[in-house]
Amino acid sequence: MSAREPLRVALLGAGVVGGAVARHLTQRSGDMAARVGAPLEIVGIAVRRAGRDRSELGVDASLFTTDAEELVTRADLVVEVIGGIEPARSLILRAMAHGASVVTANKALLAEDGPRLYAAAAQHGVDLYYEAAVAGAIPLLRPLRESLAGDEVRKVLGIVNGTTNYVLDKMDTTGAGFQDAVEQAQALGYAEADPTADVEGFDAAAKAAILASLAFHTRVSGSDVYREGITEVSAADVAAAREMDCVVKLLAICERNDGGVSVRVHPAMIPRSHPLAGVREAFNAVFVEADAAGQLMFYGRGAGGEPTASAVLGDLVAVARHRVGGGLGPGESSYADLPILSMGDAQTRYHVSLDVADRPGVLSKVAAAFAAHDVSIETVRQQLVAADDGVTAAGGDGSARANLIIVTHTASDAALSATVESLRSLDVVRGVNSVMRVEGF
């Protein structure tokens, strides 16, 4: 594969996202070449000001240029992560006119002028991918455009702004008012010093326009979106929602009916049993209702340098593979043959419930059995077992009985299972009530 000519990549922007993209392309170049079927070579990184120290990106200093207009004319693939309308729009149009495929994370530009860019891509026969613009790392472009291509999407409900979700989540869990919750979010870096674009719903409205375009394959721009922010949501509203067993979320809603398309952003109550209600803190999620597929939800991080870079890199691999002439994802024929580990090698945690005698020294014997297998204990809880008559149950030897519940730290399944075997043979252990693995912590 490495016999193929490298594909020339131009990066527009070297901020948080651009820096992460550059780092991945540099540090994982062999891996990326295998996935694409040809090497990806960074031919230039356009920055606003030259001379700044960007050595942490691990990129040759000669690659930085302030002449983005020239750079896009000598690339096969252009990654635009500068944001804003201009010069991003002109540069993307220029890149496509010169035959380059484009990957962009620019939600403002797509919401303002997406159809013009899509038309230009079609006209020049190049790709324009923009997964990162919709909800950061959450894959939506391909699910909505390809996976559901044989279905009809009816409705999309999205939590697409992490700042407002964090604020509303804090209001719900702590009873805080709007202002207090915003200040908490600012202190933790989840909200900007001027949070207007988020709390007034402008960011969500831009994403709603892109989501509606994707879901219904029609032209929707940011100015078509009805918008209300969360500044008017009070602690009393959140409490009223709680009484209805609901939670308040800022939703981007795209709906298709016989009359046309409705696209709106506003706070709304949703039932706590709804999958979107469980979307906590600064996470995003998009809930989709389709005719045949029914209800689907996509959940993940909607912002941040690394998650956004993940989406940009996925798009970059896809458009690069189109250039090389490959099909779906990593080449079907280039299968790895990774070793399959046995269950004993799996790393997991155990919840063990023991029936023990309640006498001195029991815990130390039990703990010694774990230590002997190098298994570290996270928590131990002991409770006396009450007999049916209400008094403490006694074992055959007259001593009281107790239930010992142990949760371990991570260890190999083999060590954990050997520990349980040795517990069974301890005289202080009357029985092993249950053993269950614990995941997801």
Which region among 70-78, 177-185, 266-274, 418-426 touches its own copies (by CB under 8 A)?
Answer: 266-274
Q: Which is nearer to its own copies, 292 or 391 (CB)?
A: 292
Q: Helix, strand, or coil here: 168? A: helix
Smallest distance from its own copies to CB 194, Å = 26
| Distance (Å, whole) CA 297 – CA 157 | 9
User: The tokens of 251 are what?
Assistant: 């939703």
Please say which residue, 83 or 299, places its beta carbon nearer to its own copies.
299
Q: Give buried/exposed letters for 95-133 (b at 16+ CB in 10 A, else e).
A: bbeeebbbbbbbbbbbbbbbeebeebbeebebbbbbbbb
Q: Give kind and range of the element (H or E) at residue 162.
A: helix 162-174
Residue count at the site for its own copies (CB under 8 A)?
Answer: 133
Piece of 44-52, 66-74, 290-298, 423-431 that binds its own copies (CB under 8 A): 290-298
Among residues 136 and 195, whose Cβ is nearest to its own copies? 136
Residues constituting the chain: 441
User: Which of 51, 292, 361, 364 is in the footprint of its own copies by CB under 8 A?
Assistant: 292
Q: Judged by CB under 8 A, does residue 409 bind its own copies?
A: no
CB of 115 to its own copies, least distance (A): 6
The CA-to-CA distance between both ends of the chain, in Å, stands at 41
Q: Using the minimum distance from each CB to its own copies, give the nearer residue, 23 or 54.
A: 23
Q: Is there a contact between 328 and 157 (Cβ–Cβ < 8 Å)?
A: no
Interface with its own copies, residue 325, by CB under 8 A: no
Span 389-408, contacts to its own copies by CB under 8 A: 405, 407
> Token pair for residue 278?
């469980």
CB of 383 to its own copies, least distance (A): 10
Nearest to 182 by CA among 163, 203, 201, 160: 163
Residue 8 near its own copies by CB under 8 A: no
Q: Which is nearer to its own copies, 67 or 245 (CB)?
A: 245
Cα 248–Cα 251–Cα 253 angle in degrees, nearest 5: 140
204 phi, psi to nearest 5 deg: -65, -35
Shortest Å distance, C-beta 7 to its own copies: 14
- Is there binding between residue 387 and its own copies (CB under 8 A)? no
Does 365 qualify as catalytic in the annotation?
no
Which residue in 3, 53, 187, 333 binds its own copies (CB under 8 A)?
333
CA 176 to CA 236: how far, in whole Å? 10
Q: Which stretch binds its own copies (CB under 8 A): 91-99, 169-177, 275-283, 358-366?
A: 275-283
Task: Could you list the residues known to form a binding site, using ranges.
Answer: 12-19, 107, 192
Are the C-beta atoms of residues 118 and 104 closer than 8 Å to each other? no
In the window 215-254, what residues touch its own copies (CB under 8 A)?
Answer: 216-220, 224, 226, 233-234, 236-237, 240-241, 243-244, 246, 248, 251, 253
Of 151, 159, 158, 157, give the one whose Cα is nearest residue 290: 151
Measured CA to CA, the distance from residue 157 to residue 255 in angstroms comes to 9
What contacts 164, CB < 8 A, 6 or more positions away?
198, 199, 201, 204, 229, 230, 250
Q: Residue 128 phi/psi, 5° resolution?
A: -130, 110
State the burial class of residue 349 (Cβ atoms within 10 Å of its Cβ: 0-12, 13-18, 19+): buried
Rounded to whole angstroms, how far apart are CA atoms 89 and 213? Answer: 18
* Binding residue numbers for L-homoserine: 192
Q: Which stretch binds its own copies (CB under 8 A): 83-91, 179-187, 347-355, 361-369?
A: 347-355
115 interacts with its own copies by CB under 8 A = yes
Q: Is 116 in the site for its own copies (CB under 8 A)?
A: no
CB of 374 to its own copies, least distance (A): 17
Give the tokens for residue 296: 């689907």
Contact between 97 and its own copies (CB under 8 A)? no
Site for its own copies in 163-222 (CB under 8 A): 216-220
- Single-letter code of the amino acid located at 186: Q
- Shortest distance (Å) from residue 49 CB to its own copies: 27
CB 224 to its own copies: min, Å: 5
Q: Which of residues 21-80 bind its own copies (CB under 8 A)?
A: 24, 32, 35
The answer to whether 178 touches 231, Cβ cutoff 8 Å, is yes
Residues within the annotated binding site for NADP(+)?
12-19
What is the closest distance, in whole angstroms, from the C-beta atom of residue 407 to its own copies in the complex? 7
Tell me which of 351, 395, 422, 432 binds its own copies, using CB under 8 A.
Answer: 351
Q: Is 431 in the site for its own copies (CB under 8 A)?
A: no
Task: Retrieve residue 349's tokens.
Answer: 């945690």
Active-site residues, by number, are: 207
